[in-house]
Structure 1
Amino acid sequence: MTTASVVPEKGTPWLGGVMVFVFALTPLLGYAAQLGFAPLMALAGLLVLPVMGRPRAPAAPALMLLLLAIWAAYSMTWSPAAPPPGSLKDYGDVEKVTAVKLFLQLALYGAAVAAALRLSARAADRAATVMGFGLLALAVVVGVDALTGASIFQKLRVLTGDPVRPDIAKIKISIGCYVMSVLFWPAAAVLARRGRKAAVVLLLAGVVTTSVLSSADSCLVALAAGGAVWLLVKGTGKLGGRLLTLAVAAPFVVAPIAVLWAIQTGFWGWLHGLVPPSWDARLNIWAFAADHIQDHPFRGWGLDASRTFGDAVPLHTHNAQLQLWLELGAVGAALAGAFFCWLAYGVARAAHTDRGAAAMSGAALTSYLVIGALSFGVWQEWWIAVGALAIIACVVVRRSSGEYSDELVELSSLG
């Protein structure tokens, strides 16, 4: 009688160390320096590049993002936000151009995600543990600080020689809610797998408390939507993943049409009478954007054109789908929508083997898209970095279970 030899899993100490480093810094950045997620993810990409091997043909999602970046760069030829000729005199000037940053982010953030896909189960488990308990610590600290009126944050800023007013301090810690709302799902999965159900409740309490006290309404909407998707995928498996794919696709297709229809039918005016001032301002921005999308529905106004409309659109549209339509037209909306639909359909495929992990990934994706549809600009580096970080978090949770397959994501063209 012969027994099959078991080939030991190849260790990935360097890649695992990079991921532990990233998740160890996540609580600090999530609390005090959210803009730091962009350089953190870029550094992670640089650190893993030397061991990633030779380049290969881009995977489907990487190709979608590459085409989106190329189209965005091409749109600068007609964008009113294009830098004047001769203004790009050195690397610092070039690096500030959004089109250039998109290519750098795709390469570096994509390399970091690709590295997560190569982690051994043991390395992934270490990274997942640091991520789960780190986010729990962040939720507790931010929740306690929110209850005290951000007094801890104010004292820290005094110690660093950069004091802030109490109202500004509350706004600063509220930004951490967005990070926690997206990473809540993989962190909760890690804690639940280790039998720490009380920790999951504490994590949720911290996120909700901070969101309520800091008036981060979109975080509460994101958590609720993510919870609904988690229940849907957990309960129905592949069917839930397919429904999620349709739900993700719809806004990328119909966002401007839906807004124009709502205005024409009077529904928009009815909403104006119900919502608080911050949401009323969003309704005005969305109506303006939908109206101007009609001028250039196919090509859009050009990358960063949202910044050129003055007070009508303060920096961006506060809705990812409308900003894509406004700046990059139907082409840009289709490419971005295809990428996120690919992620969503990966949830359906993953549900075959692990509904829990699929539900986690679907909920994180939903939370990210909901916040993007209500709060931030599409091209904000730190928010793109949080998206990449969320993908990495979901990947390490799945790889740590030993049941990972590559349905969910492979962003990088490096293999």
Structure 2
Amino acid sequence: MTLPWHRSPTMPVAVLLAVAPALAVAQFRAMALAVTVALVLAVVTHRRVRGAWPWPRMGRPAWLAVALLGWCGVAMIWSPEPVRALQTIGGLAALLGLALMTARALAEEAAPRRLAFALAGGLALGLALAAADHASGNWLRLAVRGFPDMPAISFGLKPAVSLMVLLLPLVLAVPMAWALRGLLVAAGLAVALWLPADSAKIAALAGVAAAGLAMVLPRAVPRLAALGFAAFSLAAPLVFAFGLSQAPSLEPLPRSAAHRILIWDFVVDRIAEKPLLGWGMESSRAIPGGSENFAPETLVEYGLTSPEARHWFGVPAARRLPLHTHNAALQIWLELGLVGALLGAALGAAALLAAGASPAGFGMAVSAVVTWQLSFGVWQPWWVASVLLAAVVAGMLRKA
């Protein structure tokens, strides 16, 4: 049954979809609060209108997510950051519960078209703002911050673009003309490829390509992706160790890419020290030696011998492990050990299989996986909130 707009649990989620990309352009960290508020309003509206709470239907991905959070709670015992770990686990558990309850509430209302058109309109607005901000020398984002002296502010668009390319494959499920869908997807790809965000570029291309492949081979592609994800997640330390041993000189690479590779080299060695249980939940910020710069012999080993490279890797920001590993599989291995890696691999594989119910949802899931493996920390609240929002919307769009 479709409820009137003002009494509908769909309304707060649709409003958020309409403004989220633009909000992320202005200040991406606001996404955690915005998603939380929208999900709470959806659940409360359902309770007020229906007279009952929308208790979630727990599928395999949901149970595996609960199991992973449970192991995070255990790994908090030996974490060097127990307070931060507790806060992170509590926040993630709340987001997961709200997302599952919202999915149930929206499913009972069955009004996917509202979400679909809010998604398309919000993406169009967000892409236009991101392009205008980049073309104007980031005037919009500087204005939001009071015009501070921020020479590297252009790279701050990466989170906003990552959010938009996460949502971009879902456009394929919007019930409008294929020409309009194709135009919006093409615009999203063009903006992602234009802006300075390499991981977002890869995620955009991977998400759209995955959706296209799933249209052609709807059963085989999600299964192969789930198998590949699980295998990579479990073998990640060995894969990285072998790949790093064969790495050519990093001198020609952008410094941020070279830095990421050196981080992985450091992390692989730390994983080898505590492979079974890991260093503890949220320990990436406190790994011994992580706050130091790379030794000169490490730079020589990777061919970073130019004066410019030595200067770049000598600044405080070029630490051996700044906040997180920039790879989800390695971060889970580092913090949660083999047990966490098994649960993470199972969760990711189950999520990819579940998303494979629709090509658009599968493309969204692949985009999320690629971004997690190249960019943000596993537990970053704004990114986890964004992925959960996208998953809720993907589930509804299958009915559009």
In the TM superposition, 1:135-214 aligns within 5 A as 135-157=123-145, 162-165=146-149, 167-190=151-174, 193-195=175-177, 197-198=179-180, 200-213=182-195
Unaligned runs of 5+ in 1: 1-8, 84-93, 351-357, 401-415
Aligned letter for 1:369? Answer: V
DSSP 3-state at the match of 1:78: coil
Contact 2:85-2:281 within 8 A present in 1 as well = no
Which residue of 1 is the match for residue 238 of structure 2? Answer: 257
Which residue of 2 is the match for residue 379 of structure 1? Answer: 379
CA distance in 1, matches of 2:24, 2:162: 9
Which residue of 1 is the match for residue 105 of structure 2? Answer: 115
Contact 2:276-2:339 within 8 A present in 1 as well = yes
Q: Structure 2 vs 1, CA of residues 70 and 178 (structure 1 numbering), >3 Å: closer, same or farther? A: same
> Is 1:329 the counterpart of 2:337 in the alignment?
yes
> Is 1:246 the counterpart of 2:240 in the alignment?
no
CA distance in 2, matches of 1:360, 1:61: 18
CA distance in 1, matches of 2:105, 2:344: 23
Contact 1:19-1:116 within 8 A present in 2 as well = no
Unaligned runs of 5+ in 2: 292-318
Aligned residues: percent identity? Answer: 28
Q: Structure 2 vs 1, CA of residues 397 and 48 (structure 1 numbering), >3 Å: closer, same or farther? A: same
CA distance in 1, matches of 2:155, 2:354: 35
1:290 to 245, 254, 268: 268
Which residue of 1 is the match for residue 394 of structure 2? Answer: 394
DSSP 3-state at the match of 2:374: coil
DSSP 3-state at the match of 1:376: coil
DSSP 3-state at the match of 2:109: coil
Contact 1:48-1:112 within 8 A present in 2 as well = yes
Question: What's the CA shift for 1:330?
Answer: 1.4
CA distance in 1, matches of 2:337, 2:182: 41
Question: What's the CA shift for 1:205?
Answer: 2.8
> Is 1:37 the counterpart of 2:21 in the alignment?
no
CA distance in 2, matches of 1:209, 1:48: 32
> Is 1:233 the counterpart of 2:214 in the alignment?
yes
More divergent stretch after superposition (215-224 vs 49-58): 49-58
Question: What's the CA shift for 1:237?
Answer: 1.8
CA distance in 1, matches of 2:233, 2:107: 28
Which residue of 1 is the match for residue 15 of structure 2? Answer: 21
Aligned letter for 2:136? Answer: T
CA distance in 2, matches of 1:95, 1:260: 28
CA distance in 1, matches of 2:165, 2:64: 26
Aligned letter for 1:378? Answer: V
Q: Structure 2 vs 1, CA of residues 246 and 79 (structure 1 numbering), >3 Å: closer, same or farther? A: same
Q: How many residue pairs are counted as aligned between the two chains?
A: 362
CA distance in 1, matches of 2:337, 2:158: 32
Contact 2:56-2:101 within 8 A present in 1 as well = no
Q: Structure 2 vs 1, CA of residues 44 and 112 (structure 1 numbering), >3 Å: closer, same or farther? A: farther
Contact 1:45-1:110 within 8 A present in 2 as well = no
CA distance in 1, matches of 2:368, 2:162: 8
In the TM superposition, 1:346-361 aligns within 5 A as 346-348=354-356, 350=357, 358-361=358-361
Aligned letter for 2:87? Answer: V
DSSP 3-state at the match of 1:242: helix
Which residue of 1 is the match for residue 349 of structure 2? Answer: 341
DSSP 3-state at the match of 2:273: coil
Aligned letter for 2:250? Answer: H
The ranges of structure 1 where at least 4 consecutive aligned residues each deviate by more than 4 angstroms after the TM superposition are 54-57
More divergent stretch after superposition (245-254 vs 174-183): 245-254
Report the RMSD for the aligned CA atoms in angstroms.
2.4
DSSP 3-state at the match of 1:399: coil
Question: What's the CA shift for 1:43?
Answer: 1.6
CA distance in 2, matches of 1:248, 1:277: 28
Which residue of 1 is the match for residue 254 of structure 2? Answer: 276
DSSP 3-state at the match of 1:143: helix
Which residue of 1 is the match for residue 113 of structure 2? Answer: 125
Which residue of 2 is the match for residue 91 of structure 1? Answer: none
CA distance in 1, matches of 2:12, 2:70: 30
CA distance in 1, matches of 2:191, 2:8: 37
Question: What's the CA shift for 1:219?
Answer: 0.8
DSSP 3-state at the match of 1:384: helix
CA distance in 1, matches of 2:351, 2:87: 28
Q: Structure 2 vs 1, CA of residues 393 and 204 (structure 1 numbering), >3 Å: closer, same or farther? A: farther
CA distance in 2, matches of 1:78, 1:16: 42
DSSP 3-state at the match of 1:45: helix
Contact 1:149-1:166 within 8 A present in 2 as well = no
More divergent stretch after superposition (174-183 vs 195-204): 195-204
